[in-house]
């Protein structure tokens, strides 16, 4: 009963927001009545396509499922821009009379600007999302880092979200670029997939081609748990990757040792209590003389426990850097860091903006990334 009420409430809110856009924009558009009616038709279609796109993965028939997802998620991205611009227009309409601007002209001009800018940002966001992620190089200063570990490199990819709109070709291009970096270690920090092993295994196959001197390591993200995490853990291991589940390995590098640990997703216990994320357990039993302690944790909010456990560096993702404005403004409500290199006590935390995207194929002011982190020594 509660779930039905929640679904009905979401539909009502979605309908109300589409209605708000139509009410405030369509009558003020300097176009013919026919074009206004076409605009109303688009808003109605958008209202129907958005939930259809979200539900598309439940459709077994292909390529219908993926095509419906593409259309629905593009509509969602367009709607997001329309809503934001409509609200911005309302502010302009309030301020304009105070600046002496003619109200009728401002109303007409801004009404026309809303759909035009929404189309432009949607297309720009689509281009940014679908292009191959650029390499971001980050130096991480580690106090008292042994000489043998100076220059040690980790290639991080995160939040690829192989699923309805991200397929094998997209992932294959990522794998080739990562391999070209020649990193000492490759780390995948969760949210690899959105869907079942049965449906997506052919598209995650390129992961088997990843190679680094000390291996390729994977930790689960929240989306693995939406897609049967146990099955994906088996599949990822089959592809030759090491899955770290509150565990660590010791890597010997140029006469020194590096501890590489990984934890399950911060909220994994909501799906399986035995998967409860635990940085302290991940480091348990480690020798005290390792040169540096590195943790892979999908969500940045694992950092509090990681700092307490004595890690030097945590690599995370999850936030997508907000993916597109204004959602980046809401990330701090849940996570301590949105993107980039930050510090919590003695712990460095690097939060990737993600190598793919989730939901609408759209990125604005939050470009995707493949990260190459290099450990450097400081006094």
What pLDDT score does 357 carry? 98
Reported as a pLDDT band with limits 50, 70 and 90, residue 327 is: confident
Render pLDDT for 100-158 as a digit per residue (tens, 0 to 9). Answer: 888 889 999 999 999 999 999 999 999 999 999 999 999 999 999 999 999 999 999 99
Does 212 share its domain with 339? yes
Domain boundary among 103, 130, 157: 130
**Residues 297/277, Cβ–Cβ less than 8 Å:** yes
Does 261 share its domain with 368? yes
Render pLDDT for 17-41 as a digit per residue (tens, 0 to 9). Answer: 999 999 999 999 999 999 999 999 9
Does 178 share its domain with 205? yes
Does 202 share its domain with 122? no
Does 280 share its domain with 353? yes
Does 94 share its domain with 232? no
Does 173 share its domain with 309? yes
**340-344 and 347-351 as β-strands: parallel, antiparallel, unpaired?**
antiparallel
Does 110 share its domain with 146? no
Query: What are the angstrom distances between the C-alpha of 223 and each of 35, 130, 189, 191, 298?
Result: 41, 20, 12, 5, 10
Contacts 24+ apart (CB under 8 A), 39-48: 39/115, 43/18, 43/19, 44/18, 45/75, 46/18, 46/75, 46/78, 46/79, 47/14, 47/15, 47/18
Domain boundary among 111, 130, 149: 130
Does 232 share its domain with 351? yes
Does 196 share its domain with 344? yes
Counted domains in the chain: 2
Structural domain of residue 241, as residue ranges?
A: 135-378
Does 67 share its domain with 147? no
Domain boundary among 81, 99, 130: 130
Task: Please compute the mean of the pLDDT values over residues 192-198 and round it to a whole number.
Answer: 96
C-alpha–C-alpha distance, residues 270 and 131, integer Å: 35
To the nearest whole percent, how much of the chain has pLDDT over 70? 99
Range in 93-102, 160-169, 178-187 with the lowest mean pLDDT? 93-102
């Amino acid at each position: 009963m509660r779930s039905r009420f929640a679904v009905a409430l979401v539909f009502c809110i979605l309908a109300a927001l589409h209605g708000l856009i139509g009410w405030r924009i369509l009558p003020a558009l300097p176009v013919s009545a026919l074009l206004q009616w076409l605009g109303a038709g688009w808003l109605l279609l958008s209202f129907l396509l958005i939930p259809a796109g979200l539900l598309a993965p439940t459709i077994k028939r292909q390529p219908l499922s993926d095509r419906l997802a593409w259309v629905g998620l593009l509509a969602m991205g367009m709607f997001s821009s329309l809503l934001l611009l409509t609200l911005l227009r309302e502010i302009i309409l309030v301020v304009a009379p105070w600046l002496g601007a003619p109200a009728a002209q401002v109303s007409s001009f801004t009404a026309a600007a809303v759909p035009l800018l929404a189309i432009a940002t949607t297309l720009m966001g689509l281009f940014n999302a679908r292009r191959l992620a650029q390499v971001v190089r980050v130096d991480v200063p580690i106090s008292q880092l042994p000489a043998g570990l100076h220059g040690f490199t980790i290639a991080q990819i995160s939040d690829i979200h192989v699923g309805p709109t991200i397929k094998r070709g997209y992932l294959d291009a990522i794998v080739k670029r990562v391999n070209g970096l020649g990193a000492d270690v490759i780390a995948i920090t969760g949210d690899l997939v959105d869907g079942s092993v049965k449906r997506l295994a052919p598209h995650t196959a390129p992961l088997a081609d990843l190679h680094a001197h000390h291996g390729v390591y994977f930790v689960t993200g929240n989306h693995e748990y939406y897609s049967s995490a146990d099955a994906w853990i088996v599949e990822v291991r089959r592809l030759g990757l090491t899955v770290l589940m509150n565990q660590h390995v010791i890597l010997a590098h140029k006469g020194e040792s590096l501890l590489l640990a990984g934890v399950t997703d911060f909220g994994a216990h909501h799906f399986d209590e035995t998967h409860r994320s635990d940085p302290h357990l991940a480091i348990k039993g480690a020798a005290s003389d390792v040169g540096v302690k590195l943790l892979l944790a999908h969500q940045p909010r694992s950092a509090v426990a990681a700092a307490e456990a004595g890690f030097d560096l945590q690599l995370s993702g999850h936030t997508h850097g907000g993916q597109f404005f204004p959602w980046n403004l809401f990330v701090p409500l849940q996570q301590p860091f949105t993107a980039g290199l930050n510090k919590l006590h003695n712990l460095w935390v690097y939060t990737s903006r993600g190598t793919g995207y989730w939901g609408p194929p759209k990125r604005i002011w939050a470009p995707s990334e493949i990260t190459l982190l290099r450990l450097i020594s400081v006094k």
